[in-house]
Amino acid sequence: MKTNIKILIVEDELIVAENIYRNLNQQGYEVVDVVSTGEEAIKEAIANHPDLVLMDIMLPGDIDGVKAAHTIYTQLQIPIVYMTAYADNDTLEKAKHTKPYGYLVKPFKPQDLRTTIEIALERYETEKAMAIRYTAQIQVAQEKLQLLNQVSNLTLLEKQFNQIINHLNLTRSTENIVPVFCLRLDRLQKISNILSYQNNKYLGNLIVKRLTTYLGNPELLARLNNEEFAIVLNSLRNKQEVTNAAHQILQLFNESFFINYREIFVTASIGIAIFKQDGDELEELINNSKKAMNYAQNLGGNRQEFYRELLSIDWDNELAIEADLRHAIERQELQLHYQPKVDLRTGKIVGAEALLRWYQPAKGFISPGKFIPIAEETGLIKSISDWVFNTACKHTKALHQEGLECIRVAVNISGYQFNQQELAQQLLRITLNAGIEPKFLEFELTESLLIADLTLAIIASLNEL
C-alpha cells in the first residue's frame, strides 16, 4: 500500500466535514480539499487526482453524490466510498451501480473510517494489479498468435517472391522490375478504440479480402501486424506502372466499410522498395519499404513513396532539428502568435487563431511544416501540445481580464492529438486550471479527420465540455 494517501472529502454539512478532516489528519492521511457540491467534487478530482474520495450521497445542486461519483470513477478511475445518514432505496440502488468501494453510515467512529479506507484502497490496488496482469497475459497470447501467423504468411510470401525472381532470371529479363510494398492503415488505432474486438477482427478480414481480390493471389500478401501488410507484385515494366499499381491499391480504400450498420472509412499509406535497386532479399526490401511508408505517413498519409527517393533527404538536418526541438520548451523558444478574427458587421475583434511558431536563435524561425512532422514521429508532439493548450488558455484568461470577455481562441489540433485517449478530460483540466470556460476554446481540424462518423463521436465529447 502506498504512503501519503490523498483523500478528497465531499460533505455539505460543515461540522461533519470538519470532524472528518480532523480525524483523517490525525490518522496520517493527506486531505487535498473539502468541498460541498458534486460540481466542486468533479473539478477537484480532475485537478488533484486524489487516491480516494469520501462522497456524501445527498448533496445540494443538480449533481448529487451518486452522479458525481459516477463521473469521477468512470473518467478518472478513482475509488469512491459513500457516506450517508439517510437515503431512500432508489438512491441506494443507484449508488450500488457506480461500483463503490465502501459505505459509511453517519455518524461513524474514527476507527470505522480508517478501516473502511484501508479495505477500499487494498481492494482497489488488488483489482488494478489483476487487471494489469490480465492485460499482459492477453497481450502475450495475442503476440504469440500474431507471430505464428506472421511467420506463416511471410513464408508463403517469400516463396512467391522467389518464384517471381527465378522467372525473371530464366527469361533473362533485365528491364522488368519487382516491387515490394509495405502498406499501413493510417487511422486503424483510432478506429480500434471505438469498435469491439469482434468488429475490429471483422474489419481486418474485410480489408484482407479487398486486397486479395485485387491481387488475385492471396499468397502475394502477408499481414505483418494488425495495421501493416507486405505485398509483392509480379514484375512490371517500369516505375510508372509501379506507381499506378500503388495508386490503384490506395483507391481500394475510397469505398467505405460497413460494420454493424456503421460506415467506416480507412485510408492507407504505401512504401515501395524495388528488387536489386533497394535490396536483394525479401526481408531487406520489406524493411526499406517500411521506411518509405513511415515517411508517407509523416507527410499526412493516404499516399505512396519510393524508398530510393528517401535517400536524397537531409536526415542529418532532421536529426539536428529533433535534438533542438527536445529543448525548445525549456529554453522558451516556442511562441504563440495570434491572428485576430473580426466581425465584418461591427468591426470588432471577436476571436483569434493561435499559430505555433518556433524561433531557434541559431537558425531563426523554423517552419511548422518542418518541425511538426518530426514532433509527431518522435512523440514530442504531446509535450508541445500541452504547452500550446496551456499557453493559449492563459492568454485567453488575460484577454478576458483586460475587458475582452467574449474572445474565443482557436487552436489547431493534429491527428496525433485527436487520437489520444481522454482528450476531453485533459482539455477540461487545462481550461479549469486556467480559470476559463471550455466554450472559449475552439479547435481547428484538418479535412482528413472529418471523413468518418466515428470522428463525430469524439467531436461530440469535446462539445460536451
**Do 153 and 293 belong to one domain?**
yes
113-124 pLDDT per residue, tens: 999 999 999 999
**Do 289 and 320 belong to one domain?**
no
Place of cell 449533481: 63
Cell of 109: 467512529
Question: Residue 6's pLDDT is what?
Answer: 95
Kindly state whether residue 247 falls inside one of the protein's structural domains: yes
The amino acid at 207 = I
**Do 83 and 190 belong to one domain?**
no
The mean per-residue pLDDT over the stretch 83-105 comes to 82
Integer Cα distance of 282 and 162 in angstroms: 9
Kindly state whether residue 409 falls inside one of the protein's structural domains: yes
For residue 24, what is the domain's CATH number?
Answer: 3.40.50.2300
Kindly state whether residue 132 falls inside one of the protein's structural domains: no
316-367 pLDDT per residue, tens: 677 788 888 888 888 999 999 999 988 888 888 888 999 999 998 878 888 8
**Do 305 and 337 belong to one domain?**
no
Alpha-carbon separation of residue 419 from 75, 175, 264, 326 (angstroms): 17, 44, 16, 22
The mean per-residue pLDDT over the stretch 279-298 comes to 90
Cell of 264: 467506416
> Does residue 448 surpass a pLDDT of 50?
no
292-308 pLDDT per residue, tens: 998 888 777 899 999 98
Question: Residue 248's pLDDT is what?
Answer: 95
Kindly state whether residue 96 falls inside one of the protein's structural domains: yes
Contact call for residues 368 and 401 (beta carbons, < 8 A)? no
Q: Three-state DSSP class for 340?
A: strand
Domain extent, residue 389, equals 316-463
Q: Quickly count: other Cβ atoms within 10 Å of residue 448's Cβ.
A: 16
**Beta strand 304-306 with 257-259: parallel, antiparallel or unpaired?**
unpaired
Question: Residue 405's pLDDT is what?
Answer: 78
Question: Residue 417's pLDDT is what?
Answer: 64
Q: Quickly count: other Cβ atoms within 10 Å of residue 83's Cβ.
A: 23
Q: What are phi and psi of 353, to 5 degrees?
A: -105, 125
Q: Quickly count: other Cβ atoms within 10 Å of residue 31's Cβ.
A: 18
Kindly state whether residue 122 falls inside one of the protein's structural domains: no
Integer Cα distance of 59 and 49 in angstroms: 21
**Do 440 and 321 belong to one domain?**
yes
Question: Residue 2's pLDDT is what?
Answer: 58
Question: Residue 87's pLDDT is what?
Answer: 64
Candidate from 10-24, 128-142, 193-207 with smallest mean pLDDT: 128-142
The amino acid at 191 = I
**Last-in-domain residue among 267, 286, 312:** 312
> Does residue 464 surpass a pLDDT of 70?
no
Integer Cα distance of 425 and 278 in angstroms: 46
**Number of residues assigned to the chain:** 465
**Do 320 and 308 belong to one domain?**
no
Using a 10 angstrom Cβ sphere, with 0-12 exposed, 13-18 middle and 19 or more buried, the burial of residue 419 is middle
Integer Cα distance of 392 and 329 in angstroms: 15
The mean per-residue pLDDT over the stretch 190-215 comes to 84
Cell of 278: 533497394
DSSP state for residue 143 in the 8-state scheme: H
Q: What are phi and psi of 262, to 5 degrees?
A: -105, 135
**Last-in-domain residue among 108, 130, 160:** 108
Cell of 65: 453524490
Question: Residue 148's pLDDT is what?
Answer: 43
Mean pLDDT of the chain: 84
Question: Residue 43's pLDDT is what?
Answer: 93
Question: Residue 176's pLDDT is what?
Answer: 84
**Do 325 and 454 belong to one domain?**
yes
Question: Residue 315's pLDDT is what?
Answer: 60
**Last-in-domain residue among 312, 337, 359:** 312
**% the chain with pLDDT above 90:** 36
Kindly state whether residue 113 falls inside one of the protein's structural domains: no
> Does residue 151 surpass a pLDDT of 70?
no
**Do 372 and 453 belong to one domain?**
yes
**Do 320 and 459 belong to one domain?**
yes
Beta partners for residue 84, in sequence order: 105
DSSP state for residue 186 in the 8-state scheme: S
Q: Enumerate residues 6+ apart whose C-beta is below 8 A from 118.
A: 1
> Does residue 451 surpass a pLDDT of 50?
no
**Do 59 and 97 belong to one domain?**
yes
Question: Residue 5's pLDDT is what?
Answer: 92
Kindly state whether residue 353 falls inside one of the protein's structural domains: yes
Q: Three-state DSSP class for 336?
A: strand
Positive or negative CA dihedral for 188, 192, 196, 197?
positive
This prediction has a pTM of 0.44
Using a 10 angstrom Cβ sphere, with 0-12 exposed, 13-18 middle and 19 or more buried, the burial of residue 252 is middle
Integer Cα distance of 220 and 423 in angstroms: 40
Q: Out of 55-64, 304-313, 374-383, give the one with best mean pLDDT.
A: 55-64
Number of domains, the chain: 3
> Does residue 281 surpass a pLDDT of 90?
yes
**Do 440 and 348 belong to one domain?**
yes
Cell of 317: 538536418
Cell of 309: 527517393
> Does residue 146 surpass a pLDDT of 60?
no
Kindly state whether residue 117 falls inside one of the protein's structural domains: no
Q: Three-state DSSP class for 396?
A: helix
Task: Name the band, by pLDDT with cuts 50, 70 and 90, for residue 72.
Answer: very high
**Among residues 90, 36, 83, 42, which one has the least CA distance to residue 60?**
36
Q: Out of 57-71, 304-318, 426-440, give the one with best mean pLDDT.
A: 57-71
Contact call for residues 47 and 433 (beta carbons, < 8 A)? yes
**Beta strand 221-223 with 228-232: parallel, antiparallel or unpaired?**
antiparallel
**Strand 30-35's sheet: what is its strand order?**
30-35, 6-10, 52-56, 80-84, 103-105
> Does residue 454 surpass a pLDDT of 50?
no
Q: Three-state DSSP class for 83?
A: strand
**Do 447 and 338 belong to one domain?**
yes
32-55 pLDDT per residue, tens: 999 999 999 999 999 999 999 999
Positive or negative CA dihedral for 167, 169, 171, 173?
positive
> Does residue 400 surpass a pLDDT of 80?
yes
